[in-house]
Amino acid sequence: MSLKAVSARPIIVPPELPANISASSAGVTGSVLSASDLTLEAVSEILAQATLLEREDPIQRAQRLAKRRIALLFYESSTRTRTSFELAAKGLGADTTLVSSLSSSIEKGETLKDTGLTLRALGAEAIILRHPSSGSPWLLERETQLPVLNAGDGMHEHPSQALLDLRTILAHLRPGIEAVTAETLAGVTVAITGDILHSRVARSNMTLLPKLGARVILCGPRELLPEIAAQTGPGVEIERDFTRALQQSQVVMMLRIQAERLAGLQLDLEEYKAGYQLTEERLAKHAPKALVMHPGPIIRGLELTGEVADGPQSLILEQVRHGVAIRMALVQRALTAQVRKGAGA
Amino acid sequence: MSTVLIRGGHLIDPAAGVDAPRDIVLKDGRVAEVAEPGKTSLGKAKASSDLQIIDAKGLTIAPGLVDIHVHLREPGQGHKETIATGTTAAAAGGFTSVAAMPNTVPTNDSPEITRWMQAPERGASVRVFPIGAATRALKGEVLNDYAALKAAGVVAVTDDGHPILKDSIMREVLINATRSGLSVIQHAEDTRLTGGCSMNAGPMAFRLGLRGMPPEAEYGLVERDIRLVTELSMNGKGDKNGHRPHLHVAHTSTAQAVAAVRQARRNGLRVTCEVAPHHFLLTEEHVGAYDTNAKMNPPLRSAADRDAMIQGILDGVVDAIATDHAPHAAHEKEVEFERAPNGITGLESALGLSLRWLHHEWKLPIGRVLSLLSAQPAALLGLKGRGTLTVGSFADVMVFDPKQEWTFHAKDSRSKSKNTPFDGWTMQGRVHWTISEGRVVYKAEAL
């Protein structure tokens, strides 16, 4: 164990190593686990399908997935996402069943794998999952081989939200466009402001929007927006100054401060509001034409004022409306585009 | 006990400075003779009931490997591994000595448990050297009786996955262990910075929405420990009996921790460290789509950290390759990433990965690789007569083909658990025989 002199060898670059799993593999057709799974072609199809289904006669539409079975597996309470997916599935005629965190099996400590296998055995053909653990949709998909729609996993992603946000943005900035390309949103800057660290909405949007050529500015204090966030992909930048972010943006997405996830982080809310709250004055002065969005639930008086939420630039309720159309398209895609592998039940 | 003659092979015994064709005779559990081909006292003897002959033609003979960091899960968690299954896996990997961590259920903090682990009833294939808990129940509060533990057979003390955070307690641990002639092994992790974290802090953790362990949680504690060792080393003179504390840093994973160890050594301190194969091969990218077989503590780090582990191995600051063999049952890993237990198995892939990458790709001489896996770890824990094949040493031998390529399949593992990120990887260096104290404990099938 003699101590040898440190050699002046250059930094070693190891040869390529086999990677076991790629970071964004959706193994089952029809699944949407991450916004990174979606090609521009898939996005175009989903957008077109959403429009078609939205306009379709409700009686006819209800024949599309008549008596098909979809399980909603919600380990977290949720109003809009759950209702939106449920109405979407029911609008297509599917039977839905909700398993929530108050369900007996979950309270008794059954694993996600076993709950998924039980739902499959009960005849579920697709599962819509909301779960507090990042990555849980991968586990569920792998174990059940069913299409899984990620309805929010931990601090990771919420891809259907990014799609409905995209549809909302397109409706205003690129009306009529559904077949998107890598340039569709060229020249558009979207400022995502607030609690980026804990936001699955931010992660999905910062993955999806740059694919269409949008520039994404992340804005927020260091505690809620670590520098590392800018390294997640192309087209993403950090701007700490909210005023400067607003001045550059055509779209402003505000995020809720997720007090339940702060985990010991000390945040001075008054200071936060002074720096990042979207007020009528700020909006009028720095971004008088910008679209104001928010994935909800909103906390009036914290990340934005009630006046802004109800104001003429706010698209918050329009987002909710687009959500049902987008989720109809996703549910239909999950049940019809799939090639089922080993689904024994 | 029968006699074993291994002949026709090429002996590499780094501790003895031998790298030449040699025949070797094992008798009564010890190495009886090492001689030039055909020159042992047994000459051209034929196999008989008293003499077993191993034909090592075209093969390399080396000291049995020594793993200073394994979890055998007994007592208490036999569904993951038992001393019998873990040591069978060790034998298949070429290991003849393994040092077992004390985070068992109950904790190994008493001579009774230390002796229980070594009892013949456990059915160990290779020698098990228990490592004792530094403090009662790994709580970091009350020191155990090191003299009693040592008398029962422990070779070092550690609180393993429960780092000793209090300066005053770590100081006491170092003083008392030094007095008893034991090394102190520290799992360097400032758990005040890693609560709720499940991978390395970095862009990947951000992208995956997982809380990340910052590198400073590791190197900060390494630096603290080195400060304590500096104070206690009395300018290198040691205590009144001349004993100097020995700090061993377990599974080093960050560039800064290796740098701190390097500096401590330059300052003449007795500070050593080990690196696990996964930390010199994999990076945080291997977490991929939340692969729980890539979840361990310390976590897989950045490419720069991985490169620093390789550099540390090549330039000699790293003393040992240790597996941190940490078996978990399949159902325990088939859960959400954040809920999955930390750890991977490693006994059967350590040699193959080390030869394939350190030797073949990065040109580390084979003797150095073998030394990192045998002589150096044996010396580090003061295992006399292990890690070498000089006459009189224990007859702990590995006979292997250093050039043979093979594919590792987790399903074929002898370990009770199959949690490894190296399933399907091509390895180099196939173990043909493992001999523990003169007994053949592993023989490869279908050679």
Q: In chain A, what residues touch B262 (CB-CB under 8 Å)?
A: 6
Mean pLDDT of chain B: 96
Contact A139 B314 (CB under 8 A): no
Of A105-114, A237-246, A261-270, which range is least confident?
Answer: A261-270
pLDDT at A122: 96
Q: Which residues on neighbouring strands pair with residue A58, listed in sequence order?
A: none
Please tell me whether residue B232 adopts helix, strand or coil conformation. Answer: helix
Closest residue in A to B258 (Cα) is: A6
* CB burial readout A280-319, b (16+ within 10 A) else e: eebbeebbeebbbbbbbebeeebbbbeebbebebbbbebb
Residues in chain A: 345
Reply yes or no on whether the pLDDT at A341 is more than 90. no
pLDDT digits (tens, 9 = 90+) for B304-327: 999 999 999 999 999 999 999 999
Reply yes or no on whether the pLDDT at A24 is more than 70. no
B324 is catalytic: yes
Q: Within 10 Å of residue A213's Cβ, how many Cβ atoms?
A: 16
pLDDT digits (tens, 9 = 90+) for B82-103: 999 999 999 999 999 999 999 9
Reply yes or no on whether the pLDDT at A262 is more than 90. no
Nearest CA-CA distance, residue A189 and chain B, Å = 21
Contact B335 A21 (CB under 8 A): no
Say which of B13, B324, B396, B401 is annotated catalytic. B324
Please tell me which of the candidates A3, A153, A231 has its beta carbon nearest to residue B203: A231
SS3 per residue for chain A: CCCCCCCCCCCCCCCCCCCCCCCCCCCCCCCECCHHHCCHHHHHHHHHHHHHHHHCCHHHHCCCCCCCEEEEEECCCCCHHHHHHHHHHHHCCCEEEEEECCCHHHHCCCCHHHHHHHHHHCCCCEEEEEECCCCHHHHHHHHHCCCEEEEEECCCECHHHHHHHHHHHHHHHCCCCCCCCCCCCCCCEEEEECCCCCCHHHHHHHHHHHHHCCEEEEECCCCCCCHHHHHCCCCEEECCCHHHHHHHCCEEEECCCCHHHCCCCCCCHHHHHHHHCECHHHHHHHCCCCEEECCCCCCECCCECHHHHHCCCECHHHHHHHHHHHHHHHHHHHHHCCCCCCCCC
Q: What's the rounded mean pLDDT across residues B15-31?
A: 98
Q: Which residue intervals of B273-358 are DSSP H helices?
A: 277-281, 303-315, 330-333, 350-353
Q: Which position has the higher pLDDT, A341 or A158?
A: A158
pLDDT bin (cut points 50, 70, 90) of residue B414 is very high
Could you tell me how many helices (H) and strands (E) chain B has, helices first? 13, 21
pLDDT digits (tens, 9 = 90+) for A47-90: 999 999 999 999 999 999 999 999 999 999 899 999 999 999 99
pLDDT at B117: 98
Mean pLDDT of chain A: 90
Residue A192's φ and ψ, nearest 5 degrees, are -105, 120
pLDDT bin (cut points 50, 70, 90) of residue A21 is very low
Measured N-to-C along each axis, helices A40-55 and A316-336 cross at an angle, to the nearest 10 degrees, of 100
Q: Which residue intervals of B51-94 are DSSP H helices?
A: 83-92
Nearest CA-CA distance, residue B164 and chain A, Å = 23
Which two structure tokens, joined as six digits, stand for B382?
A: 């003061």
Residue from B270, B273, B284, B290 to probe the interface with A (highest A Cβ count within 10 Å): B290
Give percent helix, percent strand, percent coil of chain B, each to the nearest 5: 35, 25, 45
pLDDT digits (tens, 9 = 90+) for B417-443: 999 999 999 999 999 999 999 999 999
Please tell me which of the candidates B291, B335, B338 has its beta carbon nearest to residue A21: B291
Contact A134 B338 (CB under 8 A): yes
Nearest CA-CA distance, residue B19 and chain A, Å = 19
Closest residue in A to B358 (Cα) is: A14
Q: How many CA atoms lie within 13 A of B62 on its CB side?
A: 30
Closest residue in B to A153 (Cα) is: B209
pLDDT at A11: 53
Contact A13 B307 (CB under 8 A): yes
Q: Which residues on neighbouring strands pair with residue B399, listed in sequence order?
A: B61, B433
Distance CA A115, CA A118 (A): 5
Please tell me whether residue B383 adopts helix, strand or coil conformation. Answer: coil
Reply yes or no on whether the pLDDT at A13 is more than 90. no
Q: What is the dihedral of CA B97, B102, B108, B111, to 10 degrees?
A: 40
Share of chain B above pLDDT 70, in %: 98
pLDDT at A264: 64
Contact A23 B203 (CB under 8 A): no
Beta-carbon contacts of residue B381 (< 8 Å; ≥ 6 apart): B66, B68, B99, B129, B155, B156, B183
* Beta-carbon contacts below 8 Å between A and B: 132
pLDDT at B255: 98
pLDDT digits (tens, 9 = 90+) for B322-334: 999 999 999 999 9
Interface of A with B in 149-178 (CB under 8 A): 153-157
Distance CA A1, CA A3 (A): 6
pLDDT digits (tens, 9 = 90+) for A208-221: 999 999 999 999 99
- Sign, CA dihedral B427-B429-B434-B437, equals negative
Residues in chain B: 447
Q: To which residue do tokens 């050297």 refer?
A: B129
Contact B336 A131 (CB under 8 A): yes
Distance CA A327, CA A325 (A): 5
Determine contact, residues B67/B325, Cβ cutoff 8 Å: yes
pLDDT at A250: 98
Of B121-130, B239-248, B325-334, B420-429, which range is least confident?
Answer: B239-248
Q: What's the rounded mean pLDDT across residues B106-123?
A: 97
Interface of B with A in 125-144 (CB under 8 A): none
Q: What is the dihedral of CA A198, A204, A209, A210, to 10 degrees?
A: 80
Contact B310 A14 (CB under 8 A): yes
pLDDT bin (cut points 50, 70, 90) of residue A5 is very low
pLDDT bin (cut points 50, 70, 90) of residue A102 is confident
Reply yes or no on whether the pLDDT at A124 is more than 90. yes
Question: Which DSSP string corresponds to B114-153?
Answer: HHHHHSGGG--SSEEEE-EESBGGG-SSSB--HHHHHHHT
Predicted structure pTM score:
0.93
Structural element, H or E, at residue B408: none
Closest residue in A to B267 (Cα) is: A3
Which two structure tokens, joined as six digits, stand for B234?
A: 């009395």
Nearest CA-CA distance, residue A302 and chain B, Å = 24
Interface residue B231 vs chain A (CB under 8 A) = no
Interface residue B379 vs chain A (CB under 8 A) = yes
Interface residue B244 vs chain A (CB under 8 A) = no
Reply yes or no on whether the pLDDT at A6 is more than 60. no
Determine contact, residues A106/A73, Cβ cutoff 8 Å: no
Contact B291 A155 (CB under 8 A): no
Contact A263 B210 (CB under 8 A): no
Contact B306 A22 (CB under 8 A): no
ipTM, interface predicted TM-score of the complex: 0.91
